[in-house]
Structure formats: C-alpha cells, structure tokens
Amino acid sequence: MNTTFANQVEFTITRNTQPLPEEKRNAILQNPGFGKHFTDHMATIDWTREQGWHDARIVPYGPLQLDPASSVLHYAQEIFEGLKAYRHADGSIWTFRPEANAQRFQLSARRLAMPELPVELFIESLKQLISIDQAWVPSAPETSAYIRPFMIANESFLGVRPAERAAYHVIVSPAGSYFANGMQPVSIWLSSGLSRAGKGGTGEAKCGGNYAASLLPQTEASANGCSQVLFLDAEEHTYLEELGGMNIFLVRKDGTLLTPKTSGSILKGITRASLLQLAEDMGLKIEERRIALQEWIDGVNSGEITEVFACGTAAVIAPICTLKSKTFTVGNENAPAGEVTVALRKKLTDIQYGREEDTHNWLTRLA
Ligand SMILES: *Cc1c(COP(=O)(O)O)cnc(C)c1O
C-alpha cells in the first residue's frame, strides 16, 4: 500500500546492551534444537493506514506490548513466513529465495486484509537482523538460523473490520540439524474427517489460523505415534492436500514425481517449487495434478509407488515410510529413505550450503 518507503529503506539500530554472553551463546549453538532459543535482536516495522510503513528498526529481542483489545488477539489477523540463513564454508551467510517468501507474504497479507510489505523492505529486514546477529548463525553441518518474519494487526478496536494498524516483526532462532541421526523416515496420520482448509478459505495463505485448525488432528497423530497429519480435500475427503506444515510428493517406480496441484487450499511451498525445478533439471518426469488417497494406497501395495516424502523449509525433505489411519496402515515402517528422496535432498541442501553451483540464482547474501 505504501510503496514509496521501499526507496528510502533506513533502519535505526538500537543495540542490545545485554547480549547473551559468548560462552552461553556457544553452548546453545552446540545443540540449538529448533525454535527454542532466540538471538539478541529483532526487526520491527510499523504500519498505520495514514502513515503507511514507517519506523523500521532493529531493537533488542524482547516482549511486545499489546493492548488487550488488539485485533490479532480477537480475530486472528496474523500471517508469517519461515526461511533460513545458511553459513557457507568461507563464513559468509546466505538465504534461499527470499523474494519468493516476500511475495508469498504479500499474498498472505492480501487474503487476511492486511497491508502488503514491499519486497525490498522484507529482504532488507533480514539483512539488517542477520548482520547484527551473525554470531548466532551456527556453522556445523546442516545447521542454520531459522528466520521467522510475521505480521500482526494491533489496532485496539473490537469492531470486525480490517485493522488500521499493524506491526511487522522478524525474530531469528538457531536451528540444529533436522535429522541429527541420519534421515529417519517418519510415519504420518490420516486426519479422520477434520480439514485444514476449504475451497475459498485461507489455505493458500501462511497464517496462524490454519495452524490452529491443524493442532487437534495433530494431537491425534501424536497419540498414534505419528509425527505429522495428512489432510485430504475438505469437500470430498478423497484427494491429497498436504501435511499441517509441509507439502507432499509421491515417487513412481519409473522415477516420475507426483504432487498435488495447488488449487487455493494448499500452501505453495518454496521447497516444493524448488524441488520441481531440480527434478526437471535432473530429467525426472513430473505430474502436478489431483491425486486420490486410493492411488497412494494401491500404488504402495502394488509396488508402483516406491517413495513418499514431505517437504518444507524446516526439514527440507522428510521421507515418509507409512501412512496410518484408524482402519489401515500402508507402507513399511522399516523402509529406508528412497533413492530419489535422498538425491533431491542432497541436491537442494548442496545449493543452500554453497557446496554446489547456484545455477538458478536462488541465494541472496545476508552477511
Ligand atoms: C510453510 C508451509 C509449507 C512449506 O513451505 P516452504 O516454503 O517450503 O517452507 C507447507 N505447508 C504449509 C501449510 C506451510 O505453512
């Protein structure tokens, strides 16, 4: 909405006078886990209908002050993104396709009736924050710093309409290797009747509300020893959509990659799009279309489907060994990760960590 700002991107910087001492930071970086520890600073940009985007700043990480009537607390006007900072062998720090995240953040903002943050401002916020907190980006193999940009509506008003005030923030959390003990295939649970997103809903927007809707079925998954839930389409409960926070792929024995076509209720993952491109580069065939659950079941049982995996920024690729539900189990729990799964994961992470040439210009240097 306010695009003039993008031409005069200037962040004021207030340094944290009490950053975490180096020994403590190093202890965290030895074993960061995921999403548990946060760096010394955060980025913030405010928006009001009159002023547009203003007051871009880097400030010490800390609690937000919110009026109890803030719209986000009542009507869930909230969107977010997730991307990573990767440290390369020469010490430089890079991120992967940030303009795609910035554009998706705009798409999410439109759907949630929130202001669109200019792409340049989104990327600049990452550069500013990662530069000041670069000591927090770990360097051990397959580690990274997970970057979480988000926007909340914070007008103090209980009336139901789009808020006239919003705040954009970015926080960063060091992340350990997702598969610390090698790539372990996971079991997933078929949601029994609960949906994540319907036609015309917010499924294509990356918003907290979608996650809230996925948590109850996720609980059912955990209770049944599964790490994630698979959602089918909300109308017919027949076609594959995605997991709570990852897209899904099947691999046929002839090497063809199958993935559900995104049609409004599936989030368009950047990992998904990147894997489709890499698969094409590798000469694999691709089918993006509606995929019935039955095709998976029959395919695994007949040997036609040889591999299944989920993908998203956090895990990159997670191999799936079995699909379970109240009435059936398909697949073999002891099956190792498949050949195509392993090759695609290696290809993508080699680019992200600077071990292979970035022929698609996907990397942006942050620090
Ligand atoms: C973020 C997300 C994904 C994965 O997207 P990436 O851009 O690959 O990280 C998939 N599904 C949902 C619901 C998501 O929120």
pLDDT number for residue 19: 98
pLDDT number for residue 181: 73
User: Which residue out of 215, 277, 313 has the highest number of ligand 1 atoms within 8 Å of its CB and is therefore the one to mutate?
Assistant: 313
214 burial via Cβ count (<10 Å: 0-12, 13-18, 19+): buried
Looking at residue 259, its amino acid is: T
Q: How far is the CA of 262 from the centre of ligand 1 (A)?
A: 12
Which residue has 């995240």 as its token pair?
A: 101
Which residue has 């295939």 as its token pair?
A: 185
pLDDT number for residue 306: 97
Given a contact cutoff of 8 angstroms between Cβ atoms, the answer to whether 56 and 45 are in contact is yes
pLDDT number for residue 11: 97
Q: How far is the CA of 333 from the centre of ligand 1 (A)?
A: 25
Give yes or no for residue 124 CB within 6 A of ligand 1.
Answer: no
pLDDT number for residue 5: 52
Q: How far is the CA of 205 from the centre of ligand 1 (A)?
A: 10
Q: How high is the mean pLDDT in each 10-residue block of the chain (367 residues)? A: 55 98 98 96 98 97 97 97 98 98 98 98 98 98 97 97 97 91 90 90 97 95 95 96 96 97 95 98 97 97 97 96 96 94 97 98 98
CA distance 39 to 169: 13
Give yes or no for residue 272 CB within 6 A of ligand 1.
Answer: yes
Q: What is the pLDDT of residues 154-179, one digit of tens each?
A: 999 999 999 999 999 999 999 998 88
Give yes or no for residue 202 CB within 6 A of ligand 1.
Answer: no
pLDDT number for residue 276: 98
Find all residues with CB under 8 Å of 156, minimum gap 6, and list them. Answer: 67, 69, 70
Give yes or no for residue 245 CB within 6 A of ligand 1.
Answer: yes
Domain 186-352: give its CATH code. Answer: 3.20.10.10
Q: Where exactly does CATH 3.20.10.10 map onto the chain?
A: 186-352
pTM of the model: 0.96
pLDDT number for residue 2: 44
pLDDT number for residue 180: 73
Q: Where exactly does CATH 3.30.470.10 map onto the chain?
A: 2-177
Domain 2-177: give its CATH code. Answer: 3.30.470.10
pLDDT number for residue 8: 60
Looking at residue 39, its amino acid is: T
* Positive/negative CA dihedral, 129, 133, 139, 140: negative
CA distance 193 to 172: 35
Give the atom of ligand 1 at the shortest distance from the alpha carbon of 81: 1
Q: How far is the CA of 275 from the centre of ligand 1 (A)?
A: 13
